[in-house]
Amino acid sequence: MNTSHLMPTSIEAEEAILGGILIDPTAISRVADLLKPEFFAIAAHQRIFSTAITLLTQGHSADLMTVTNWLTDHGQLDGIGGLSKLAQLVDRTVSTVNIDQYAGLVEEKYRRRKLIEAGIRIAEAGSQTARDLEEIIAEAETEILSINSRANSQEFSTVADCLSQVWASLETGAPPGYFTGLHDLDELIGGLPRKDLIIVAARASMGKTWFAIYLALQIAKKYGLPVVFFSAEMSKEALTKRLLAQISGISSQRLMWNKIYEEEWEKLSAAVGELSELPIIIDDTPGTSLTPASMRSVLRRVEREHGSPGLVILDYLQLLGERNAGNRAQDVGAIAGHCKAIAKDFDVPFVALAQINRGVEARNDKRPMMSDLKDSGDIEQDADLAVCLYRDDYYNPESAERDKIELIVRKQRNGSLGTAKCWFNPEKGTFRNISK
């Protein structure tokens, strides 16, 4: 479809900007950070502006004489319409007073043209029925969001810029992440850091999901931030009952069986009221269908409807992807890399639960190591923080550590390793501090 006649442009604004640059040596510095050559709709205008930027970076003025000489020396003067084109731009320009406003208008027209082009590509992709729909939707959202963000967004920072941000954070003393409320663990890791991939690994039935639920409630209640819970293993109904169990203190098993004692109804009703007010979003798409692209799509929607998320949880990592893939470890490792990218892009802690191989059962010390990760691939490499869970009373009912869970930090990119302990009730999923 030919849409060239529909493309929004403002030739007058483009000419006013270029004419202003040619008559006023200071004009280029006023618009250099606002515009890029590709913002101009006409190729000749792109070349003239690019020449002015080149001269500016070389420490030269970008007036009519220097621009003309540069274009002539590089054999490009005829390509832009010759000296008559430059003279025409100068003749049509009165002053540079409104050059900043013209720059905004040129950028707006450029973004409108990009929107039309993206719409054409999206329409063409939508007709490709052989492609996965979620993949097409994710690409479409990425296209639109890239247009919505400022086209001239900064792609790098000087160390001075970084230092000002660091100094401000040091002055406020604000933590870089969100406290878990488990004092010994917070003392060890400093809370859940934003932009980090946090792996929580354990054997089955050790308490991974309970721990994730605890973190979800902590962030939603204490900070009032949306929590997105991708439950690839458990249905949303089952996960909701676990959330109710942790809030109400009622046995999760009886909640699963819909068996509530008479004296518990009031407590359950209060828990329902509390939970209904919390910004927790559950996506129970099965692991075979859940992809990094679909997770991004959900997170963008949550951002639009509920605000920026405070925590993302995936339960659990090895359920995603093709289960019968030839190189399963590589497949899972790639998914972990995508989760890390999501954490960084959305400025959020990403907690990914992971299963431990059953080989740990054959050891005398059954505390898991990172090397015990099932289909490990690059999980350990991409993780910024890795916490392994261990309950001694799971293996030894008469253990002196009964009702305690160990949170073993096996990797911490910006901190030390160690073990934090807390009380854990596997029936209700509750976590409590040992130390006051």
Residues acting as catalytic residues: 233
Q: Which residue has the tokens 């990760």?
A: 373
What is the bridge-based pairing of β-strands 311-315 and 350-355?
parallel
Q: Which of 40, 10, 20, 26 is nearest to 86 (CA)?
A: 20
Alpha-carbon distance values, 105 to 8, 102, 153 (Å): 11, 5, 17
Length of the chain equals: 436
Q: Which of 356, 416, 417 is nearest to 391 (CA)?
A: 356
The amino acid present at 325, given as its one-letter code, is A
Alpha-carbon distance values, 380 to 97, 198, 383 (Å): 57, 10, 5
| 265 Cα distance to chain centroid | 40
Partners of 356 in the β-ladder: 373
- Distance CA(402)–CA(393), nearest Å, equals 5
Q: Which tokens go with 210?
A: 């309970």
Q: Taking the C-alpha atoms of 350, 351, 352 and 353 in order, what is their torsion angle to the nearest 10 degrees?
A: -170
Partners of 420 in the β-ladder: 407
